[in-house]
Chain A
Amino acid sequence: MKTQAIMIAALAASALGGCIQVKAPDKPIEINLNVKVQQEVVVKLQRDAQDLIQNNPELFPQ
């Protein structure tokens, strides 16, 4: 009976010790979007670029 109590106490202690702690980082999380912005600009310009090539055939020999 006594040993059982001790075992339960030990189990409880180990369970408490195994708790996962979630802690927010003290520094803000930075996400760099420069690449994506650059990509969007180029994508939007594709049609303009197509027109530019077609309107200036002398600048784009083949």
Chain B
Amino acid sequence: MTRKMLMFAAGAAVALASGLIMTAPARAQSGPVAAAMAAGTVGEQADGYLGIAGTVGADVRSEVESINIKRRAAYTQLAGQRGVTVQDVAAATGCQTLSSRVKQGQAYRIGAGPWQTKGAGAISLPAYCATAG
């Protein structure tokens, strides 16, 4: 609970400080998190955030937290533009990451369920996800 609140506070601070996350320069995608995702120790969650699925080092853990804080800031910004809740934006993004970004062999989680490994077929998404993207 405290951690979530901290994340939220930090996310808000980042949003205020940087103003626009959209303008942040794109970094190379070959980081420790990408490697952990390939290894299945970090995965996408249906709630729109990254999660720790296995044993990871401190560097990966802090990078995951940092990414989640930035994601929340981006979700918050879009939610404000669309007049919806941050949770709605996060859930919609979760639908997208699970349907089109998680690759075979990578870990993912829906709700409070167990971590699963994506097989050859498509992930069976929560009912609220649209089939037509």
Contact = CB atoms under 8 A, between A and B. Distances in A.
B92 A60 contact: no
Contact of B71 (A41, A46, A48, A59): A59
Interface residues of A, number: 22
Residue among B22, B29, B127, B128 with most chain A CB within 10 A: B128
B89 A48 contact: yes
A55 B23 CA distance: 9
A9 interface: no
A57 interface: yes
A62 B98 CA distance: 12
B117 interface: no
| Interface SS of chain B | helix
Interface in B73-88: 74-75, 78, 82, 84, 88
6 contacts: A43-B130, A46-B132, A49-B95, A52-B74, A56-B74, A61-B33
Contact of B82 (A39, A48, A50, A62): A48
A58 B84 CA distance: 24
Given A42-B91, A46-B95, A48-B78, A62 B133 contact: no
